[in-house]
Amino acid sequence: MMKEQKNTADARKAAADPVIQMDQVTKTFPWGGSILSRRRTAKVLDRVSFAISKGEVLCLVGESGCGKTTTGKLVAGLLNPTEGRVLFHGADIWKMDPQKFKAYRRAVQLIQQDPYASLNPAHSIFDTLKAPLVRHGIVRTQEEALSRAKELLQTVDLTPPDDFLFKYPHQLSGGQRQRVSIARALTVNPEFIVADEAVSMIDVSIRLSIIALLSRLKNELGVTFLFITHDLAMARYFAWEGRIAVMYLGSIVEIGTTARLIQEPLHPYTKALLLAIPEADPEITRHKQTLPVRSLDIPSLLDLPSGCKFHPRCLFFIEGKCDVEVPQLTPREDGRLVACHLRSA
């Protein structure tokens, strides 16, 4: 009983002190502009808010181009918001002094989709791991760097480490390169990892082993995750004990615990994504509806639909309401938030 009370108190404390918080973040980018066409603005993110507590996994799910990668870059401090704030332990990262900003950038690491593009082909694996260790003063000598690099390779299951240390990225498989990317992120003992489509460019056969590695890091090192994926099945697998946020055209349309969201999706877009997941049984998959939407065309970010941005595709579209009023993220009894007029009635 005492232990349960302590766990509840710890959970409340963690929720009250999120590691990362997006507070009404909007991000726009200039688009085009020439003698023949005027410069326009693409609103890639529209008032996005969420908070991630220590040790938690939040999966951000949505189709390509919905703003997931931009969100990851904002959380990692690689982009600044047009409006709103990104907070690290309650402090606005863009108002931090240089020393605090450096500490934040060290605490929040990004693992990118393409391990080949993110590793310098001219650097050996040892050089790749040594650079951040030296830059952040974690090691002082070549021996210390070698020893720590070997430990890191063992942590990501590249063993024996001597077989990998002096190889170059092109000598490794896709899965091995992604393990090196993960090892590099771990060089600075991060508190938070943004994994942006971290397994989507890897052979299906080894995806699960990389996911198992990330799960182990979460459990053993207590790392907090923002896991970005277009694959709801992968989100379900990685974040079963965490939460999923579903993003559509730069807005979060549903956010809640993975189990509830998967068992009973409330937003029509979440339902469509879930129905599109292939089943293990090819017979069931063959007879499954493809994406159950009115239109397969995704609207342009330069010309977003009025009202609910999903209304041109939604099977439950209410004329005169959904195309006029923007639905707000509204709390439900089970704690999740949903932005749909059907659910706020």
Positions in the binding site for ligand SF4 (CB under 6 A): 268, 308, 310-311, 314, 316-318, 322, 327, 340-342
What separation in angstroms does the CA of 65 have from each of 43, 69, 70, 229, 303? Answer: 12, 8, 9, 12, 14
Nearer to ligand SF4, 130 or 267 (CB): 267
- Least Cβ distance, residue 27 to ligand SF4 (angstroms): 22
Residues ≥6 apart with Cβ < 8 Å to 22: 48, 49, 50, 51, 71, 74, 75, 84, 85, 86, 87
Reply yes or no: is the peptide bond before residue 305 cis, omega within 30 of 0: no
Nearer to ligand SF4, 236 or 311 (CB): 311
Nearer to ligand SF4, 212 or 315 (CB): 315
In 212-222, which positions are buried (b, 16+ CB within 10 angstroms) versus exposed (e)? ebbbebbeeee
- Least Cβ distance, residue 327 to ligand SF4 (angstroms): 4
- Least Cβ distance, residue 332 to ligand SF4 (angstroms): 14
- Least Cβ distance, residue 23 to ligand SF4 (angstroms): 24
243-248 β-sheet, strand order: 108-111, 192-196, 224-229, 57-61, 243-248, 251-257, 337-338, 330-331
- Least Cβ distance, residue 90 to ligand SF4 (angstroms): 33
Nearer to ligand SF4, 262 or 322 (CB): 322
Nearer to ligand SF4, 227 or 317 (CB): 317
- Least Cβ distance, residue 291 to ligand SF4 (angstroms): 14
Nearer to ligand SF4, 143 or 297 (CB): 297
Phi, psi (rounded to 5 degrees) for 80 = -105, 150
**Which has the closest alpha carbon to 334: 261, 268, 271?**
261
- Least Cβ distance, residue 40 to ligand SF4 (angstroms): 25
Nearer to ligand SF4, 186 or 301 (CB): 301
The DSSP element (H or E) to which 73 belongs, if any, is helix 68-75
Interhelix angle for 174-186 vs 204-221, to 10°? 20
Nearer to ligand SF4, 153 or 338 (CB): 338
C-alpha distance across the termini of the chain, in Å: 40
- Least Cβ distance, residue 309 to ligand SF4 (angstroms): 8
**Which has the closest alpha carbon to 340: 308, 302, 304?**
308
